[in-house]
């Protein structure tokens, strides 16, 4: 009888051990995350590279699903598909902050983590990750520009339009920095809205060179301003004599950097952004949301500022003739 009881207890213990250890395998689940940028483009090649690095470093599975064009409804469709496929996290660069709200809400109702980039204070997201702080970025660009112009002389600032928020915040910060630190520098006008049209930038630069013979250079916020200005310098035989700094991708600015018609391109790495997004998503999925606070150190990227849901790094990327070949975007 005692033997039977002993066997029964042993069997019960065996079953108990089996059932108490089962949840551990769930904790070891490999999370599936989908990176969804605005569109498929050279710029977002680096975003995909960051996902691949995160997959290797964090033991997760990542997928890259990009809309064919920067169409908000196409992107919403991609997000819906990613939700239906049962992924654990969505890493999204929204085309339109409002249009993604309903699908983000749907995702989170199914316990899918939502992390965004280039969309500060995004509604219905868990966190937003930014690689630059706007005020610091504008100041940094001014410092770089001043360094190349000898901290003196006349110059122009280009923006995409007078209503593009980011461009004008950066321009405001640059002008503020100039007034505080570089008294011998002078703007020829407040700013010109030409930096998203290469030919308009080229034409404006030709006009400025003619009107201001002592012009020291152009500081451009927008993807096409620096290439347009660089083309104008080529036409006037002024390559190397004026400074041109902008926010053009390495691939697009490569041939201008090579001959010196663009001095520097300053922006940020989309790959760093996607890597950080994956890290934050994994923390949330691991139940470590409480640890996402000031002092958090993300491997290889350092300690961002954390303001509510916004995780903000100060990591501008300076691309030059010497290093542009390192970047695939």
* Mean pLDDT of successive 10-residue stretches along the chain, which has 329 residues: 39 34 47 95 90 98 94 96 97 93 98 95 96 96 98 97 88 97 97 95 98 98 95 98 96 96 97 98 98 97 97 96 93
Tokens linked to 55: 């997959």
- Answer yes or no: do 170 and 250 share one domain: yes
- Answer yes or no: do 91 and 176 share one domain: no
pLDDT of residue 288: 97
- Answer yes or no: do 181 and 292 share one domain: no
Q: Residue 280: inside a domain, yes or no?
A: yes
pLDDT of residue 74: 96
Cα–Cα dist 322/91, whole Å: 32
Tokens linked to 103: 């699908």
Question: Which of 267, 294, 323 marks a domain boundary?
Answer: 267
Q: Residue 175: inside a domain, yes or no?
A: yes
- Answer yes or no: do 189 and 235 share one domain: yes
Q: Residue 230: inside a domain, yes or no?
A: yes
- Answer yes or no: do 125 and 184 share one domain: no
pLDDT of residue 20: 30
Tokens linked to 277: 């997004």
The total domain count for the chain is 2
Q: Residue 171: inside a domain, yes or no?
A: yes
Burial of 49 from C-beta contacts in 10 A (0-12 / 13-18 / 19+): buried
- Answer yes or no: do 262 and 293 share one domain: no
- Answer yes or no: do 160 and 261 share one domain: yes
Stated pTM of the model: 0.80
pLDDT of residue 163: 83
Q: Residue 323: inside a domain, yes or no?
A: no
Of how many residues is the chain composed?
329
Spatial strand order of the sheet with 127-130 comes to 61-64, 32-36, 89-92, 113-117, 127-130, 310-312, 305-307
Largest CA distance in the chain: 108
Q: Residue 150: inside a domain, yes or no?
A: yes
- Answer yes or no: do 247 and 146 share one domain: yes
Question: Which of 267, 283, 303 marks a domain boundary?
Answer: 267
- Domain limits for position 180: 134-267
pLDDT of residue 19: 29
Cα–Cα dist 285/275, whole Å: 16
Q: Residue 23: inside a domain, yes or no?
A: no
pLDDT of residue 28: 55
- Answer yes or no: do 304 and 235 share one domain: no
Q: What is the CA radius of gyration of the chain?
A: 25
CATH number at residue 171: 3.40.50.2300
- Answer yes or no: do 158 and 228 share one domain: yes
Cα–Cα dist 277/128, whole Å: 8
Which helix H or strand E contains 90, and what residues bound it?
strand 89-92
pLDDT of residue 206: 98
- Answer yes or no: do 49 and 114 share one domain: yes
Q: Residue 16: inside a domain, yes or no?
A: no
Pairing outcome for strands 89-92 and 61-64 = unpaired
pLDDT of residue 41: 83
- Answer yes or no: do 142 and 125 share one domain: no
Tokens linked to 137: 């970025």
């Amino acid at each position: 009888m005692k033997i039977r009881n002993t066997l029964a207890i042993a069997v019960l213990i065996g079953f108990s051990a089996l059932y108490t250890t089962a949840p551990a395998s769930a904790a070891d689940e490999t999370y599936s995350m989908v990176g969804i940028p605005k569109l498929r483009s050279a710029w977002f090649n680096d975003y995909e590279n960051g996902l691949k690095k995160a997959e290797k470093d964090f033991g997760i599975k990542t997928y890259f699903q990009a809309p064919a064009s920067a169409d908000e409804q196409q992107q919403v469709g991609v997000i819906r598909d990613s939700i239906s496929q049962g992924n654990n996290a969505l890493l999204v660069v929204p085309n339109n902050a409002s249009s993604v709200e309903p699908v983000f809400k749907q995702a989170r109702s199914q316990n899918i983590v939502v992390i965004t980039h280039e969309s500060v204070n995004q509604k219905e997201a868990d966190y937003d990750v930014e690689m630059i702080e706007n005020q610091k970025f504008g100041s940094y660009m001014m410092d770089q520009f001043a360094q190349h112009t000898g901290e003196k002389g006349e110059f122009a600032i280009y923006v995409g339009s007078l209503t593009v928020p980011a461009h004008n915040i950066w321009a405001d910060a640059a002008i503020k920095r100039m007034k505080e630190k570089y008294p011998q520098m002078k703007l020829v006008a407040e700013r010109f809205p030409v930096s998203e049209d290469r030919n308009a930038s080229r034409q404006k630069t030709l006009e400025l060179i003619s009107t201001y013979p002592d012009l020291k250079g152009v500081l451009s916020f927008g993807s096409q301003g620096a290439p347009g200005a660089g083309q104008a310098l080529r036409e006037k035989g002024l390559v190397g004599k004026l400074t041109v700094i902008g926010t053009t991708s390495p691939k697009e600015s490569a041939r201008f950097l090579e001959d010196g018609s663009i001095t520097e391109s300053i922006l940020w790495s989309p790959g760093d952004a996607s890597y950080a997004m994956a890290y934050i998503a994994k923390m949330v999925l691991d139940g470590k949301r409480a640890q996402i606070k000031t002092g958090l150190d993300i491997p290889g990227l350092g300690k961002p500022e954390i303001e509510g849901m916004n995780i903000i790094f100060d990591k501008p990327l300076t691309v030059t003739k010497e290093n542009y070949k390192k970047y695939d975007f």
